[in-house]
Structure 1
Amino acid sequence: MKIEVIKGDITKIHAEVIVNAANSSLLGGGGVDGAIHRAGGPRILEECRVIRNRQGKCGTGEAVVTTAGNLPAQYVIHTVGPVWNGDEEKSSKLLSDCYRNSLQLAENLGIKTIAFPNISTGIYKFPKELAGKIAVHEVRKFHSDIIEKVIFVCFDEENEEIYKKLLNPSF
Protein backbone atom coordinates (compact mmCIF):
# COMPACT_ATOMS: atom_id res chain seq x y z
CA MET A 1 0.00 0.00 0.00
CA LYS A 2 1.29 3.43 -0.92
CA ILE A 3 0.85 6.08 1.79
CA GLU A 4 0.66 9.76 0.89
CA VAL A 5 0.41 12.89 3.05
CA ILE A 6 -1.07 16.12 1.77
CA LYS A 7 -2.28 19.33 3.34
CA GLY A 8 -5.69 20.26 2.01
CA ASP A 9 -9.45 20.03 2.06
CA ILE A 10 -10.67 16.43 2.16
CA THR A 11 -13.91 17.41 0.38
CA LYS A 12 -11.86 18.16 -2.75
CA ILE A 13 -9.78 14.96 -2.75
CA HIS A 14 -10.20 12.56 -5.67
CA ALA A 15 -10.28 9.17 -3.95
CA GLU A 16 -12.83 6.39 -4.19
CA VAL A 17 -13.57 6.80 -0.48
CA ILE A 18 -13.09 9.66 1.91
CA VAL A 19 -13.41 9.10 5.63
CA ASN A 20 -15.53 11.41 7.73
CA ALA A 21 -14.65 12.09 11.36
CA ALA A 22 -18.32 11.90 12.29
CA ASN A 23 -20.15 12.27 15.56
CA SER A 24 -22.31 9.47 16.91
CA SER A 25 -25.54 11.05 15.64
CA LEU A 26 -24.33 10.79 12.01
CA LEU A 27 -26.32 13.97 11.35
CA GLY A 28 -23.44 16.33 10.62
CA GLY A 29 -21.69 18.71 12.93
CA GLY A 30 -18.65 20.95 12.95
CA GLY A 31 -15.17 20.57 11.51
CA VAL A 32 -14.59 17.87 8.90
CA ASP A 33 -18.04 16.38 9.53
CA GLY A 34 -19.86 19.62 8.74
CA ALA A 35 -17.65 20.32 5.72
CA ILE A 36 -18.32 16.86 4.24
CA HIS A 37 -22.08 17.17 4.77
CA ARG A 38 -22.17 20.68 3.26
CA ALA A 39 -20.03 19.79 0.23
CA GLY A 40 -21.65 16.39 -0.31
CA GLY A 41 -25.21 17.65 -0.23
CA PRO A 42 -28.44 16.20 1.19
CA ARG A 43 -28.02 12.62 -0.08
CA ILE A 44 -25.34 11.92 2.53
CA LEU A 45 -27.60 13.10 5.35
CA GLU A 46 -30.55 11.10 3.95
CA GLU A 47 -28.46 7.91 3.95
CA CYS A 48 -27.15 8.67 7.45
CA ARG A 49 -30.75 8.94 8.65
CA VAL A 50 -31.56 5.54 7.11
CA ILE A 51 -28.56 4.02 8.93
CA ARG A 52 -29.63 5.65 12.21
CA ASN A 53 -33.19 4.37 11.81
CA ARG A 54 -31.81 0.87 11.24
CA GLN A 55 -29.11 0.69 13.93
CA GLY A 56 -29.33 3.76 16.15
CA LYS A 57 -26.31 5.93 16.79
CA CYS A 58 -22.85 4.95 15.56
CA GLY A 59 -20.59 3.90 18.41
CA THR A 60 -17.10 5.28 18.96
CA GLY A 61 -14.62 3.35 16.82
CA GLU A 62 -17.33 2.00 14.51
CA ALA A 63 -17.68 2.85 10.82
CA VAL A 64 -20.59 3.01 8.35
CA VAL A 65 -20.73 3.91 4.66
CA THR A 66 -22.90 6.21 2.55
CA THR A 67 -22.82 7.67 -0.91
CA ALA A 68 -20.50 10.64 -1.44
CA GLY A 69 -23.25 12.79 -2.93
CA ASN A 70 -21.68 15.75 -4.73
CA LEU A 71 -18.13 14.97 -3.56
CA PRO A 72 -15.46 13.74 -6.03
CA ALA A 73 -15.53 10.30 -4.34
CA GLN A 74 -17.83 7.29 -4.63
CA TYR A 75 -18.39 6.76 -0.92
CA VAL A 76 -17.99 8.38 2.48
CA ILE A 77 -17.05 6.16 5.39
CA HIS A 78 -18.26 7.77 8.61
CA THR A 79 -16.30 6.81 11.72
CA VAL A 80 -16.73 8.15 15.22
CA GLY A 81 -13.46 9.07 16.88
CA PRO A 82 -12.97 9.24 20.63
CA VAL A 83 -13.16 12.46 22.60
CA TRP A 84 -9.85 12.82 24.47
CA ASN A 85 -10.39 12.46 28.20
CA GLY A 86 -6.85 11.64 29.32
CA ASP A 87 -7.42 7.85 29.33
CA GLU A 88 -4.67 7.12 26.81
CA GLU A 89 -5.13 3.34 26.70
CA LYS A 90 -8.90 3.39 26.10
CA SER A 91 -8.82 6.38 23.72
CA SER A 92 -5.94 4.91 21.70
CA LYS A 93 -7.77 1.60 21.25
CA LEU A 94 -10.92 3.40 20.08
CA LEU A 95 -8.95 5.53 17.61
CA SER A 96 -7.20 2.40 16.31
CA ASP A 97 -10.66 0.88 15.81
CA CYS A 98 -11.66 3.89 13.66
CA TYR A 99 -8.81 3.31 11.22
CA ARG A 100 -9.04 -0.49 11.20
CA ASN A 101 -12.83 -0.56 10.75
CA SER A 102 -12.69 2.10 8.01
CA LEU A 103 -9.98 0.17 6.14
CA GLN A 104 -11.93 -3.09 6.49
CA LEU A 105 -15.10 -1.45 5.18
CA ALA A 106 -13.18 0.05 2.24
CA GLU A 107 -11.68 -3.34 1.45
CA ASN A 108 -15.12 -4.98 1.61
CA LEU A 109 -16.30 -2.39 -0.94
CA GLY A 110 -13.37 -3.22 -3.26
CA ILE A 111 -11.85 0.25 -2.87
CA LYS A 112 -8.35 1.00 -4.16
CA THR A 113 -7.91 4.54 -2.76
CA ILE A 114 -9.00 5.88 0.63
CA ALA A 115 -8.42 9.33 2.17
CA PHE A 116 -8.41 9.94 5.92
CA PRO A 117 -8.66 13.21 7.84
CA ASN A 118 -6.86 13.61 11.17
CA ILE A 119 -9.56 11.85 13.21
CA SER A 120 -10.32 13.27 16.68
CA THR A 121 -7.56 15.92 16.62
CA GLY A 122 -9.89 18.92 16.24
CA ILE A 123 -12.67 19.64 18.71
CA TYR A 124 -12.26 16.15 20.23
CA LYS A 125 -8.77 17.29 21.36
CA PHE A 126 -6.91 13.98 20.83
CA PRO A 127 -3.16 14.77 21.03
CA LYS A 128 -2.00 15.17 17.42
CA GLU A 129 1.32 13.32 17.78
CA LEU A 130 -0.29 10.29 19.41
CA ALA A 131 -3.17 10.31 16.90
CA GLY A 132 -0.66 10.38 14.03
CA LYS A 133 1.29 7.44 15.44
CA ILE A 134 -1.90 5.41 15.80
CA ALA A 135 -3.10 6.28 12.28
CA VAL A 136 0.20 5.40 10.61
CA HIS A 137 0.58 2.22 12.69
CA GLU A 138 -2.92 0.96 11.82
CA VAL A 139 -2.51 1.69 8.11
CA ARG A 140 0.91 -0.01 7.95
CA LYS A 141 -0.43 -3.00 9.91
CA PHE A 142 -3.47 -3.46 7.63
CA HIS A 143 -2.61 -5.89 4.85
CA SER A 144 -4.80 -5.63 1.79
CA ASP A 145 -4.64 -7.02 -1.73
CA ILE A 146 -7.32 -4.50 -2.73
CA ILE A 147 -6.44 -1.11 -1.20
CA GLU A 148 -3.53 0.38 -3.13
CA LYS A 149 -3.26 3.89 -1.69
CA VAL A 150 -4.03 5.63 1.59
CA ILE A 151 -3.97 9.42 1.67
CA PHE A 152 -3.70 11.30 4.96
CA VAL A 153 -5.32 14.67 4.29
CA CYS A 154 -4.05 17.11 6.90
CA PHE A 155 -6.06 20.23 7.58
CA ASP A 156 -3.18 22.12 9.17
CA GLU A 157 0.60 22.36 8.89
CA GLU A 158 1.17 20.87 12.35
CA ASN A 159 -0.55 17.60 11.42
CA GLU A 160 1.14 17.58 8.00
CA GLU A 161 4.59 17.82 9.64
CA ILE A 162 3.73 15.11 12.18
CA TYR A 163 2.62 12.66 9.48
CA LYS A 164 5.57 13.42 7.20
CA LYS A 165 7.99 12.78 10.09
CA LEU A 166 6.21 9.56 11.03
CA LEU A 167 6.33 8.27 7.45
CA ASN A 168 9.81 9.58 6.64
CA PRO A 169 11.89 9.90 9.81
CA SER A 170 14.66 11.73 7.93
CA PHE A 171 12.20 14.52 6.97
Structure 2
Amino acid sequence: MKINLIKGDITKMKVDAIVNAANSSLLGGSGVDGAIHRAGGSSILEECQQIRNKQGKCKTGEAVITNAGNLPAKKVIHTVGPVYQKGESNEKELLVNCYKNSMLLAKENGLHSIAFPCISTGIYRFPKQIAAEIALSVIKSNPILDEVIFVCFDNENYTIYKNLLSYE
Protein backbone atom coordinates (compact mmCIF):
# COMPACT_ATOMS: atom_id res chain seq x y z
CA MET A 1 0.00 0.00 0.00
CA LYS A 2 1.29 3.44 -0.95
CA ILE A 3 0.81 6.34 1.48
CA ASN A 4 1.08 9.81 0.00
CA LEU A 5 0.79 13.31 1.41
CA ILE A 6 -0.49 16.35 -0.46
CA LYS A 7 -1.15 19.92 0.57
CA GLY A 8 -4.21 21.02 -1.33
CA ASP A 9 -7.92 20.75 -1.98
CA ILE A 10 -9.49 17.31 -1.51
CA THR A 11 -12.29 18.20 -3.95
CA LYS A 12 -9.71 18.16 -6.77
CA MET A 13 -8.47 14.62 -6.07
CA LYS A 14 -8.90 12.08 -8.86
CA VAL A 15 -9.13 8.90 -6.75
CA ASP A 16 -11.67 6.15 -6.25
CA ALA A 17 -13.00 7.81 -3.07
CA ILE A 18 -12.55 10.96 -1.09
CA VAL A 19 -13.54 11.04 2.54
CA ASN A 20 -15.83 13.74 3.81
CA ALA A 21 -15.46 14.81 7.43
CA ALA A 22 -19.24 15.06 7.72
CA ASN A 23 -21.55 16.01 10.53
CA SER A 24 -24.17 13.55 11.76
CA SER A 25 -26.93 15.17 9.70
CA LEU A 26 -25.10 14.33 6.43
CA LEU A 27 -26.62 17.52 5.01
CA GLY A 28 -23.45 19.52 4.48
CA GLY A 29 -21.87 22.06 6.76
CA SER A 30 -18.71 24.10 7.02
CA GLY A 31 -15.09 23.26 6.32
CA VAL A 32 -14.31 20.24 4.15
CA ASP A 33 -17.95 19.08 4.41
CA GLY A 34 -19.26 22.28 2.87
CA ALA A 35 -16.51 22.33 0.23
CA ILE A 36 -17.33 18.77 -0.89
CA HIS A 37 -21.07 19.45 -1.09
CA ARG A 38 -20.53 22.73 -2.99
CA ALA A 39 -18.06 21.24 -5.48
CA GLY A 40 -19.92 17.94 -5.88
CA GLY A 41 -23.34 19.41 -6.47
CA SER A 42 -26.84 18.44 -5.44
CA SER A 43 -26.67 14.72 -6.27
CA ILE A 44 -24.45 14.10 -3.21
CA LEU A 45 -26.93 15.86 -0.93
CA GLU A 46 -29.84 13.97 -2.49
CA GLU A 47 -28.14 10.64 -1.81
CA CYS A 48 -27.27 11.72 1.74
CA GLN A 49 -30.95 12.56 2.30
CA GLN A 50 -31.94 9.09 1.07
CA ILE A 51 -29.48 7.51 3.52
CA ARG A 52 -30.87 9.65 6.36
CA ASN A 53 -34.44 8.70 5.47
CA LYS A 54 -33.45 5.03 5.60
CA GLN A 55 -31.18 4.89 8.68
CA GLY A 56 -31.41 8.25 10.44
CA LYS A 57 -28.36 10.31 11.28
CA CYS A 58 -24.86 8.92 10.86
CA LYS A 59 -23.31 8.14 14.23
CA THR A 60 -19.84 9.33 15.23
CA GLY A 61 -17.19 6.92 13.94
CA GLU A 62 -19.47 5.39 11.31
CA ALA A 63 -19.26 5.87 7.54
CA VAL A 64 -21.62 5.85 4.55
CA ILE A 65 -20.92 6.07 0.83
CA THR A 66 -22.49 8.16 -1.92
CA ASN A 67 -21.85 9.15 -5.50
CA ALA A 68 -19.30 11.93 -6.06
CA GLY A 69 -21.48 14.17 -8.21
CA ASN A 70 -19.33 16.64 -10.13
CA LEU A 71 -16.12 15.72 -8.29
CA PRO A 72 -13.25 13.92 -10.09
CA ALA A 73 -13.43 11.10 -7.51
CA LYS A 74 -15.75 8.13 -8.12
CA LYS A 75 -17.34 8.08 -4.64
CA VAL A 76 -17.56 10.09 -1.44
CA ILE A 77 -17.30 8.31 1.89
CA HIS A 78 -18.88 10.39 4.64
CA THR A 79 -17.64 9.78 8.18
CA VAL A 80 -18.54 11.65 11.35
CA GLY A 81 -15.54 12.55 13.45
CA PRO A 82 -15.70 13.14 17.19
CA VAL A 83 -15.92 16.55 18.80
CA TYR A 84 -12.87 16.76 21.08
CA GLN A 85 -13.81 17.01 24.76
CA LYS A 86 -10.40 16.88 26.46
CA GLY A 87 -10.08 13.17 25.62
CA GLU A 88 -12.71 12.20 28.15
CA SER A 89 -15.41 10.91 25.80
CA ASN A 90 -13.80 8.07 23.80
CA GLU A 91 -12.69 10.53 21.14
CA LYS A 92 -9.56 8.57 20.19
CA GLU A 93 -11.49 5.33 19.67
CA LEU A 94 -14.16 7.16 17.68
CA LEU A 95 -11.51 8.73 15.42
CA VAL A 96 -9.92 5.30 14.91
CA ASN A 97 -13.35 4.05 13.82
CA CYS A 98 -13.67 6.88 11.29
CA TYR A 99 -10.53 5.75 9.48
CA LYS A 100 -11.19 2.00 9.84
CA ASN A 101 -14.81 2.20 8.72
CA SER A 102 -13.94 4.44 5.76
CA MET A 103 -11.26 1.99 4.61
CA LEU A 104 -13.57 -1.01 5.03
CA LEU A 105 -16.38 0.69 3.14
CA ALA A 106 -13.99 1.51 0.29
CA LYS A 107 -12.80 -2.11 0.17
CA GLU A 108 -16.38 -3.47 0.27
CA ASN A 109 -17.20 -1.29 -2.73
CA GLY A 110 -14.24 -2.46 -4.80
CA LEU A 111 -12.33 0.80 -4.48
CA HIS A 112 -8.53 0.88 -4.48
CA SER A 113 -7.51 4.48 -3.71
CA ILE A 114 -8.78 6.85 -1.06
CA ALA A 115 -8.02 10.43 -0.02
CA PHE A 116 -8.53 11.52 3.58
CA PRO A 117 -8.83 15.03 4.97
CA CYS A 118 -7.71 15.77 8.52
CA ILE A 119 -10.80 14.50 10.32
CA SER A 120 -12.01 16.42 13.40
CA THR A 121 -9.09 18.87 13.53
CA GLY A 122 -11.09 21.93 12.47
CA ILE A 123 -14.17 23.09 14.34
CA TYR A 124 -14.26 19.78 16.25
CA ARG A 125 -10.94 20.83 17.88
CA PHE A 126 -9.19 17.42 17.95
CA PRO A 127 -5.47 18.09 18.62
CA LYS A 128 -3.80 17.93 15.21
CA GLN A 129 -0.70 15.99 16.28
CA ILE A 130 -2.72 13.29 18.05
CA ALA A 131 -5.21 13.08 15.17
CA ALA A 132 -2.39 12.61 12.64
CA GLU A 133 -0.75 9.90 14.77
CA ILE A 134 -4.08 8.06 15.00
CA ALA A 135 -4.74 8.38 11.26
CA LEU A 136 -1.32 7.03 10.28
CA SER A 137 -1.44 4.24 12.83
CA VAL A 138 -4.84 3.02 11.63
CA ILE A 139 -3.89 3.18 7.95
CA LYS A 140 -0.58 1.38 8.45
CA SER A 141 -2.17 -1.39 10.50
CA ASN A 142 -4.96 -1.92 7.92
CA PRO A 143 -3.21 -2.07 4.53
CA ILE A 144 -6.35 -3.14 2.63
CA LEU A 145 -6.26 -0.59 -0.22
CA ASP A 146 -3.64 0.12 -2.86
CA GLU A 147 -3.20 3.81 -2.10
CA VAL A 148 -4.05 6.20 0.72
CA ILE A 149 -3.52 9.93 0.28
CA PHE A 150 -3.67 12.39 3.15
CA VAL A 151 -4.79 15.76 1.83
CA CYS A 152 -3.96 18.62 4.18
CA PHE A 153 -5.57 21.98 3.55
CA ASP A 154 -3.39 23.97 5.95
CA ASN A 155 0.34 24.23 6.54
CA GLU A 156 0.18 23.10 10.17
CA ASN A 157 -1.43 19.73 9.41
CA TYR A 158 0.80 19.25 6.37
CA THR A 159 3.94 19.80 8.47
CA ILE A 160 2.73 17.40 11.16
CA TYR A 161 2.04 14.62 8.63
CA LYS A 162 5.29 15.29 6.77
CA ASN A 163 7.28 14.99 10.01
CA LEU A 164 5.48 11.81 11.05
CA LEU A 165 5.97 10.20 7.64
CA SER A 166 9.67 11.15 7.49
CA TYR A 167 10.37 9.13 10.64
CA GLU A 168 9.42 5.88 8.92
The alpha carbon displacement at 1:33 in A equals 0.2
Equivalent in 143, 147, 151 of residue 149 of structure 1: 147
Which runs of structure 2 are paired with 1:39-58 in the superposition (5 Å)?
A: 39-58=39-58
SS of residue matched to 1:151? strand
1:165 to 141, 163, 167: 163
Corresponding residue SS for 1:18: strand
- Identity over aligned residues, as a percent? 62
d(CA) in 1 for partners of 2:17 and 2:100?
14
Q: Does residue 1:111 correspond to 2:111, yes or no?
A: yes
Which residue does the alignment assign to 1:130? Answer: 130
Q: Point out where structure 1 has 5 or more consecutive residues left out of the alignment.
A: none
Change (3 A) 1:89 1:166: farther
Letter in 2 for 1:152: F
Tell me, in whole angstroms, the C-alpha distance in 2 between the residues paired with 1:110 and 1:136. 22
* 1:25 alignment partner, SS class: coil
Q: What TM-score, normalized to structure 2?
A: 0.98
Q: Call closer, same or farther: CA 1:44–1:162 in 2, change over 3 Å.
A: same
The residue number in structure 1 matching 2:83 is 83
Partner of 1:21: 21
- Determine the structure 2 residue equivalent to 1:2: 2
Q: Map Cα deviations across residues 48-95 of structure 1 (whole Å, 9 max, x no partner).
A: 000000000000000000000000011000000000011257100000
Which aligned segments of 4 or more residues in structure 1 are displaced greater than 2 angstroms? none
TM-score, normalisation: structure 1: 0.96
Higher mean C-alpha displacement, 110-119 vs 86-95 = 86-95
Deviations 1:112-141 (A, max 9, x none): 110000000000000000000000000001
Deviation at 1:164, TM superposition (A): 1.1
Q: What value does the CA root-mean-square deviation take over the aligned residues?
A: 1.0
Structure 1 residue 143: Cα displacement: 2.9
Count the aligned residue pairs: 168
Work out the CA distance in 1 between the residues paired with 2:66 and 2:41: 12
